[in-house]
Structure 1
């Protein structure tokens, strides 16, 4: 909200500089820890092993090409795409399986389940509902999949294959 108000733009920059200066000491310590960790990890291999194989170079978290921050940016688009496919009945079994897999991974990532505000039971229930959608062929009777199945049946029917 500060970026929309010109008088608060300087305040935002001041806060950023303050946080950067406060975190500089901690970042230096983290860098030292990472260097020690890397050297300890690389010292495990014997010289013969290092000659036979290329040395493993561990990457610092959030510096790899694909990490959690990249995946976190993709999740909303995945949710929207799967949701729209289910809403319009397009590629329903595939979308339902994708949704069930995602919801099951959310449930398993917070295992064991607990009651209360942190509960993941509703993700498990939604995953089961998506498996029912995928298993029953719900898209063939309503939605855009109905029209896709009409076209497939018309051009790939057994009568046309014999002729």
Structure 2
């Protein structure tokens, strides 16, 4: 019986897909325009010093991040440097009302106990306890500041080159500045309480604006909000000044001979650098790198899809920090972000870097990296 070979269906050769010339030109123009916009916005965040020849990042994301609203706003603000999230811990709307007998008793008991403990410590020639009144309008903010200063102290005293006397001096410096902070805030207690009452009135005004639509009410709310916000400037400035003096105290504890050692100098800088400031610096660098890098890659048509993802991710983070549906958002509409995200989606889907871009050569040599294989 003769053997007949199995019949097989011939495989058609893979055919290249050709796009209309006008569509290719449009994709290239869109890629170049989007890339140029990202590149230009990124380079605006840099500053070049002609004298030193050094380029630095002259941009800070802090003002924008401080205005964040929505689910992650508190997490973001908690990581911001310097002002210790005063928006959360100090700007608390509280209605001014008569103090109850129970509250008066609690305050009197705390004050008597605090005075007795300070007197006992003084008699024993021990450091005086320094505390903030738990009933004060600034208590939460002061506690947040003190914890940060203690962290700086704890990082400072573990520097290996320090002597016991220098560590004792660091403890004295912390106590001195804590007392200075406590005295200052106590002197401002009535003003802070009055300010927090004004915040309460502002909240009530906003509620009224939602129930009654009056033309002048919106303007009145804006004026009141600006007025209440401006009052924090002096308190924040004074706290920053006390903190700067405290950090300067710690720096002067280390002598010149110790600072001549590179390891000690580096450890000192590390100890006195605010962790929040480090995080903010890293954010500034990352944002600048993503914007400039995405723009360059898009213009070159190199790793276009990666650039599209990075650029779209950045734009989405901007939208997420100011979601238009959250009350108080400064971004009631998406403005250009949504348009650019749509443009990046088109460039991603079309793998636009293979048209007049370097992705063409990557696809040519790899056969798979940035292009899509046509199915048979």
- Normalising by structure 1, we get a TM-score of 0.52
Give me the CA root mean square deviation. 3.8
Which contiguous aligned blocks of 4+ residues in structure 1 show a shift greater than 4 angstroms? 29-32, 116-119
Distance 1:151 1:117, change over 3 A: same
Q: 1:36 to 1:97 in 2, by over 3 A?
A: closer
Larger relative CO (CA 8 A, sep 6+): 1 or 2?
A: 2
Deviations 1:46-68 (A, max 9, x none): xxxxxxxxxxxxxxxx4158523
Q: Tell me the residue number matched to 2:342.
A: 128
Deviation readout 1:4-39 (Å, 9 max, x if unpaired): 9xxxxxxxxxxxxxxxxxxxxxxxx966543369xx
For residues 59-106 of structure 1, the C-alpha deviation after alignment (integer angstroms, 9 at most, x for no partner) is xxx415852332113211221111000011000011111111111111
Consecutive unaligned residues of structure 1, counting only runs of 5 or more, are 5-28, 38-61, 155-163
The question of whether the paired residues in 2 share the 8 Å contact of 1:85 and 1:92 is answered with yes
Aligned residues: 106
Write the mapping of 1:133-152 to structure 2, written as runs, cut at 5 A: 133-152=347-366
Contact 1:139/1:145 (CA < 8 Å) preserved in 2? Answer: yes
The whole-number CA distance in structure 2 between the counterparts of 1:36 and 1:102 is 33
Structure 2 counterpart of 1:97: 309
State the shift of 1:150 in Å.
0.9
Q: When the two structures are superposed, what TM-score results if normalisation uses the length of structure 2?
A: 0.24
**Structure 2 residue ranges without an equivalent (≥5):** 1-49, 51-137, 149-273, 369-376
Deviation at 1:147, TM superposition (A): 0.9
Change (3 A) 1:96 1:125: same
Cα contact 2:324–2:334 (8 A) shared by 1: no
Secondary structure at 1:67 match in 2: helix
Mapping for residues 1-163 of structure 1, pairs under 5 Å: 32-35=143-146, 62-64=274-276, 67-112=279-324, 120-153=334-367
Whose Rg is larger?
A: 2
